[in-house]
Amino acid sequence: MLDDSLALLARTPAALDALLRGLPDRWVHHNEGGDTWTAFDIVGHLIFAEHADWMPRARMILDHGESRPFEPFDRFAQFKESQGKTLDQLLDEFALVRKENLAVLRAMNLQPADLDRRGTHPTLGSVTLAQLLSTWAVHDLTHLHQLSRVMSHQYRDAVGPWSAYLGVLHCNGRGG
């Protein structure tokens, strides 16, 4: 299962790059209204998670087990971190930091006994390293899911009566 996660995690930056690089602003810099996120915000969030979430938490589990809870994750850090950057810069940065993290993860040569080790999530409680790494992969997918919904929202009216057939326009799976 770790190999399956790695295969997916390695592909996400190139998939987002192929989808988003050079796209018109309509798709990249518009959200779903209010304080929701744009495609640009989503890529920034994925970058911040590479720095602050997955690998620091994996290390915390291996070094401290359940004795020290993970640092809480700032879901809004990208609004500051992405300031003044272009989408192309964020796509480059995501590809680089993901590649570095996966190289470190592979070098850890994690064994089944490592994957069963437990840490403490600040709100969810006891979790395993295997669950953390699986969540890393699904976190990519949940933001791909969000991204497709945010982009679709920009054409909500343009599709006219076809709206009834387009599941993405009726999704209530909000949030990351």
Q: Note the residues at the interface with a second copy (CB under 8 A).
A: 1, 3-4, 7-8, 11-12, 14-20, 22-24, 26-27, 121, 124-125, 127-128, 130-132, 134-135, 137-139, 141-142, 144-149, 151-152, 155, 158-162, 164-176
Give the number of other CB atoms < 10 A from CB of residue 161: 6
84 vs 162, beta carbon nearer a second copy = 162
Question: How far, in Å, are 13, 105, 134 from residue 7 at the CA level?
Answer: 12, 13, 12
Tell me the closest approach of the beta carbon of residue 35 to a second copy, in angstroms: 16
Tell me the closest approach of the beta carbon of residue 79 to a second copy, in angstroms: 19
Angstrom distance (rounded) from CA 41 to CA 24: 15
Lookup: tokens for 119 = 């840490």
Tracing tokens 């590649």 back to the chain, one arrives at 99
10 vs 108, beta carbon nearer a second copy = 10
3-state secondary structure of 118: strand
Q: Which helix (H) or strand (E) holds 128?
A: strand 125-128
Tell me the closest approach of the beta carbon of residue 2 to a second copy, in angstroms: 10
Tell me the closest approach of the beta carbon of residue 130 to a second copy, in angstroms: 7
